[in-house]
Amino acid sequence: MNRDVLRLDAVTFRRSGTEILHGIDLTVRRGEHWALLGPNGAGKSTILGFCGAQTHPTSGTVEVLGHRLGRVDMQELRRHIGHVNPRHPLRSDLSPLEVALTGVTGTVERAMRWQPTDEQQENARRLIALVGLGEAEAARWPTMSQGERGRALIARALVASPALLLLDEPTTGLDVAAREQLLETIDDLSRADPELASVLVTHHLEELPETTTHALVIAGGRVLAAGPVGDTITSEVISTAFRHPIEVAYHDGRWSARAIRRALV
């Protein structure tokens, strides 16, 4: 069985005549959990657009779940990809369960004239409990905390049993406690489904889950390093990516970074 979930080969991308990605290679296999790291403007969101079957490359090839972009129904392919975006544009007063069920229909709002089956309801309830919202079923989207929203969106992403989970800066706007709760949820998901593959975008090492297995570090639209997380996230690589001397540390499953103080002359 082919274990490749995602494959980018020599991918470039141009916008308004300017090339912003230069020869990106990335292979994600089942059970791997990748971090996509780099400064603002490095091209992380563009790469995630390929992973989510949202964007075609200018050149090179992208294969998602065994299907090459340009030769597949993109909308159908997206049904098999879970996507967590903290800027989810929902406006209705949906409950966590109702938010999760919008993942079945692939819509932002509740689909008109659609009713979930008993099996879909039960699966959504199971996921709401899994992400720690089982006691918050009476909550509504407009009054949920940012952390509750993030966990509801993870349940939404998982309700269609995707093979690939994409997390686009999922801890944006969270305080420290909510961030840690969300990262624990992501770690629990990885352990509960050993075959699930994921790609998480961030520019903060502190936001990497303990279950992160690999990392891709980019800067200026180019890959600086890619591979097992322990070999890739180093002080040298991160300093080069962010153009500042940074000391990277790893302790008890978590990463951190701090600027190296320059001696005063």
CATH 3.40.50.300 assigned to domain 1-80+163-265? The reply is yes
Rounded CA-CA distance 146/152 in Å is: 10
For β-strands 33-37 and 197-202, DSSP reports them as parallel
Q: What integer is the mean pLDDT of 56-78?
A: 91
Residue 263's pLDDT is what?
Answer: 56
What global pTM score does this model have?
0.90
Q: What integer is the mean pLDDT of 57-85?
A: 90
How does DSSP assign 31-60, residue by residue?
Answer: T-EEEEE--TTSSHHHHHHHHTT----SEE
pLDDT tens digits, 169-199? 888 888 898 889 889 989 988 888 899 999 9
Q: Is residue 201 a contact partner of residue 217, using CB atoms and an 8 Å limit?
A: no
Domains of the chain by residue range: 1-80+163-265, 90-161
Residue 105 confidence class, pLDDT cut points 50, 70, 90: confident
pLDDT tens digits, 228-247? 999 999 999 999 999 999 99
Q: What integer is the mean pLDDT of 4-14?
A: 96
Name residues whose C-beta falls within 8 Å of residue 179's C-beta, 6 or more positions apart in sequence.
147, 171, 207
Q: Is residue 154 a contact partner of residue 185, using CB atoms and an 8 Å limit?
A: yes
